[in-house]
Amino acid sequence: MGSQRDRAASRRHRHELGIRSQTLSSELGDGEGAGGEEAEGTRPAEIRTIWGTTVQLREVTNMFRDFLQHFTPSHRPPETHSLNEAEMHEPVYPALIRKMHEAEIYQLNVDAQNISAYPPAQGLYKQLVNYPQEVVPLLDYVLAGLYMEQHPDADMDLAGELRVRVYNLSSTTNMRDLNPDDMDKLVSVRGMLIRTSAVIPDMKRGFFRCMQCEWTTTVEIDKGVINEPRQCGNSACLQKDVIELVHNRSIFEDKQLSRLQETPEVIPDGQTPHTVTVVTHHELVDVGKPGDRVEITGIYRGEPVRTNPRTRTVQAIYRTYIDVVHIRRLGRSRAVVDQARDAGEGDSGGADGAGGGTQAFTASEEAEFRRWARDPRLFAIMARSLAPSIYEMEDVKRGVLLQLFGGVRKQFARAGAPRARGDINVLLVGDPGVSKSQMLSAVHGLAPRGIYTSGKGSSAVGLTAYVTRDPDTRQLVLESGALVLSDDGVCCIDEFDKMSDSTRSVLHEAMEQQTISVAKAGIIASLNARCSILAAANPVDSTWNRALSIVENINLPPTLVSRFDLVFIVLDSVDEAMDRRLARHIVGLYVDEPPAPAADELPLMSPERLTRYIAYARRHVHPVISDAAADALTHAYVDLRRMGRDSTAAASTSAAVHAAAPSGRVTATARQLESMIRMSEAHAKMRLSDSVDPVDVQEASRLMREALRESATDPRTGLIDLDLLNTGFAASDRRQLDAIKRETRSLASYHSWLERLNDQSYAPVPPRLFDQVIRELSTEGIVSLVGSGRNMVIVVKQSALAD
């Protein structure tokens, strides 16, 4: 069995990677010093293999040398590069080595895929993966040789410092699946660094001196131990136990122990995460910090648990760890990062930045998604799969789904143009006990990055960002709040209505500008908060009052409400057929074995699938609005606006005074058009389509109307009026307002205005309207106000009475 053989071999070569070059020079024979001149071809063609392996020294060195000198991007499959012809045939690595020299960075990142794609180096990749302990030092050695050739003036000592860092293996291993077969092989694992130790100086060469005769010797590290010489080596001395270690002449190297923990995506349901120890040396120390998601390429090793090193025993138990060859930091976000952002940040760890934070989508997965996307019932299937335990609320689910996909963020090229947000904000208002919170938590589970907060418990700083003093360094640091943390995700805010006003006010900026500005304690910053907001609120009197409009029902400033693209009102309405179905659904949950889904029922997508699908769509689909769709959008918008005008004739009877003037109802504003665009884009994304087509617009405008019908309907006239959302005053309110104002003005003197008004009018005058009248009258200079609240005294100005 191969795995046992190489494990055995590595016992002999159990030196730490950190000191690998020194050992190597002796293995390659005396004629070649580290970084010595090219010896190839001058020697008889003897085959030297590393004992116990199939690694042939000469062959490996030649192959890698050839690879470094002659590999060009043209060897890779063409679609992976977008280079021009000249660049395609330019060898990659000599240029990189030159850069190394200029930047004085003595490590070379080598993409393992390049090695396996380079035909002359056939077999090198396999040997590298199977015998990394032998092959990696050889690669270093070859690199040192080439480096010295290119830069003969370089310091000779450098040769020992040069490192080849291999990364991007064909497959990454799941931490859970690491097993004895992987021992001493090159593996690649992904995970999150959870702890890093302090930097430990690790002795790699001990310097010893005899206290009697000043005889000195050095001892290399062997199997992790430096064996102290027991006897003086000077033949004239030969004293025992007089050898002392001279610290400042010994050679140390940085070493760090870290722990890598599995990331949530790979943990099976109900299991706890696994961890593995990783050991980093030298330049790799402190590359990763706790909390970073990293991909580690390294050698999986075992080390005996030394219970009693003195006795001669078979040491049966080994602890495992990974000796790191390369660390690549992955994005910190959970699943999806917009492509645009990736390019801006750059890839700090990897050489060419291929692949971002996401797990790559496999071809089969992609095919599956495409298959889903072709299903005409796609939207319905997905809406059903979103929180399947929540019954009905089909339109709400659809709206939330579009929110998850999100529109396209637009940055206009022309200078000074604003950024248009692509995120869709949704507000759910409704009676208690209609699973609003459940919906929120379902979204929180699915969203690429989600933060769930409750309005009651959040403060303004908790949502935005706050400045604190770091306990260790006493420096001011900026801590991100929920909105900033959910940048590029969905921020779910429950109990939105119970938020304090000051907290809510910070949302104004976040929702339209998508930034959070902080100016305090010497820190002035503007942070990105490009998140969509899903909020849930209860009506003022805990249950929805049908006689009142939305603004009266929810105690939210209209300016804030208007920033939501979709406002859904979820009512606990009495509908016998629906109640019956709902009851059956609830009862059905209690049956131990759920009945097999009926044939005509829609198939369900599992939450994991759905998440992946959304991630895929968000990452790879960037639909552009087609001409047809643009037309459709224009039509839909005009239609929506016309809804205000068409019904004017019908409504005008109630407004006799304003018969000539339009009713002033507004059904759609530019904000609604923007929302519609975003939603159409989201719908196209869901279909994995690269263009927004009229179908998308249809669905978006349908949802829009649906939401508008519920939220912006004036309870008195039964007509949609967006002014209700934008200013809080419906057109009918306005007309009433005018009538009252006129009436008020005609009153000769002021004495309990309200009561008299009420006596006169056929319908009671709501105090809210009356207050507004008074305020407007005072700004018009007709009355002046003394005092405030109920005790307010209203004095009619004589000048006003005169006319």
Partner 1 sequence: MVQDPSYGEELHLTIARVLNSETGEVRQRFSQYTDVDHSLEEGWEVDYSSTGNVFTEKEVAYCVSVPGQNQWAQLESTASIESALEALSITNTSPHTNGNVDSGDTADSGFEVASGLASKYPLPGENHTAALVKFYSPSAAPKASSVIDVVGIYELGYNSKSQESDEERKVLWPCIHAIYYTDIQLHNLVPSLPRLALSAYIARRDMCLSHLTLVLGGDELAAQYLLLHLLSKSVRVQDAKVGKFSLNLIGVPSCEKKQQQQQKEQSRRFNFNNLATKWIGDAIAQLVPCSVELPFELGLLNRSAFLPNAEHGDLKAGVLQLAPGTEIICDETCLHEGTLDEHGVRNLHALQTSILEQTVTYLYPFQPIDISTNLRILVLSTGKSILQNDCDVYLADTAVRFFAKIQSGTSVDMQPLDPMHTEQIRQYLELARCLDFNIPKDVSDIISSEYADSRRCAHKNGEQMMTQEDLALTVTVARLISISKGQDVLDLASWREACTLEQYRKERATKAKSARPASGGEPSS
Site string for partner 1, 553-572 (x = CB under 8 A): -------------------x
Least Å distance, CB 495 to partner 1, is 14
Report the alpha-carbon distance of residue 349 to residue 193 in Å, rounded: 15
If one asks whether residue 388 binds partner 1 (CB under 8 A), the answer comes out as: yes
Q: How many residues line the site for partner 1 (CB under 8 A)?
A: 69
Least Å distance, CB 583 to partner 1, is 4
Of the pair 576, 759, the CB lying nearest partner 1 is at 576
Least Å distance, CB 575 to partner 1, is 8
Least Å distance, CB 197 to partner 1, is 11
CB 428 within 8 A of CB 561: no
> Among residues 45, 236, 317, 598, which is the contact residue for partner 1, using CB under 8 A?
317
Report DSSP letters for 725-765, one per residue: HHTS--HHHHHHHHHHHHHHHH-SS-SSHHHHHHHHSSSPP
Of the pair 437, 727, the CB lying nearest partner 1 is at 437
> Among residues 155, 376, 590, 748, which is the contact residue for partner 1, using CB under 8 A?
590
Q: Is 420 exposed, middle or buried (0-12, 13-18, 19+ CB in 10 A)?
A: middle
Residues 442-461 binding partner 1 (CB under 8 A) are 442
Question: DSSP strand E in 650-713: where?
Answer: 691-692
Q: Mutual orientation of helices 607-620 and 378-385 as an angle, nearest 10°?
A: 130
> Among residues 583, 624, 795, 801, which is the contact residue for partner 1, using CB under 8 A?
583
Report the alpha-carbon distance of residue 563 to residue 378 in Å, rounded: 28
Q: What is the rounded radius of gyration, in angstroms, for the C-alpha atoms of the chain? A: 36
If one asks whether residue 586 binds partner 1 (CB under 8 A), the answer comes out as: yes
If one asks whether residue 7 binds partner 1 (CB under 8 A), the answer comes out as: yes
CB atoms within 10 A of CB 634: 12
If one asks whether residue 4 binds partner 1 (CB under 8 A), the answer comes out as: yes
> Among residues 316, 413, 596, 786, which is the contact residue for partner 1, using CB under 8 A?
316
> Among residues 593, 600, 627, 759, which is the contact residue for partner 1, using CB under 8 A?
593
CA distances from 312 to 306, 309, 315 (A): 11, 8, 9
286 φ, ψ (degrees, to nearest 5) = 65, 15
* Burial 659-673, CB ≥16 within 10 A → b, else e: eeeebbbbbbbebbb
Question: Which DSSP letter does residue 435 get?
Answer: S
Stretch that binds partner 1, among 280-288, 384-392, 419-427, 630-638 (CB under 8 A): 384-392
Report the alpha-carbon distance of residue 663 to residue 734 in Å, rounded: 9
Decide the pairing of beta strands 476-480 and 465-469. Answer: antiparallel
Residues 214-273 binding partner 1 (CB under 8 A) are 261, 263-264, 267, 270-273
Report the alpha-carbon distance of residue 274 to residue 263 in Å, rounded: 9
If one asks whether residue 627 binds partner 1 (CB under 8 A), the answer comes out as: no
> Among residues 102, 104, 472, 576, which is the contact residue for partner 1, using CB under 8 A?
576
Residues 288-307 binding partner 1 (CB under 8 A) are 290-291, 302, 305, 307
If one asks whether residue 98 binds partner 1 (CB under 8 A), the answer comes out as: no
Q: What is the token pair recorded at 781? A: 């200079």
CB 262 within 8 A of CB 292: no
Stretch that binds partner 1, among 197-205, 247-255, 583-591, 795-803 (CB under 8 A): 583-591
If one asks whether residue 472 binds partner 1 (CB under 8 A), the answer comes out as: no
Report the alpha-carbon distance of residue 507 to residue 390 in Å, rounded: 28
Question: Which DSSP letter does residue 531 get?
Answer: -
If one asks whether residue 541 binds partner 1 (CB under 8 A), the answer comes out as: no
If one asks whether residue 315 binds partner 1 (CB under 8 A), the answer comes out as: yes
Of the pair 228, 572, the CB lying nearest partner 1 is at 572
Decide the pairing of beta strands 200-210 and 186-196. Answer: unpaired
Stretch that binds partner 1, among 34-42, 56-64, 80-88, 179-187 (CB under 8 A): 179-187
> Among residues 227, 313, 502, 760, which is the contact residue for partner 1, using CB under 8 A?
313
> Among residues 122, 150, 218, 389, which is the contact residue for partner 1, using CB under 8 A?
389
Q: Is 109 exposed, middle or buried (0-12, 13-18, 19+ CB in 10 A)?
A: middle
Q: Give the interface with partner 1 as residue ranges (CB under 8 A).
A: 1, 4-5, 7-9, 11-12, 52, 179-180, 183, 192, 194-195, 261, 263-264, 267, 270-275, 290-291, 302, 305, 307-308, 311-320, 387-389, 432-435, 442, 572, 574, 576-577, 579-584, 586-594, 607
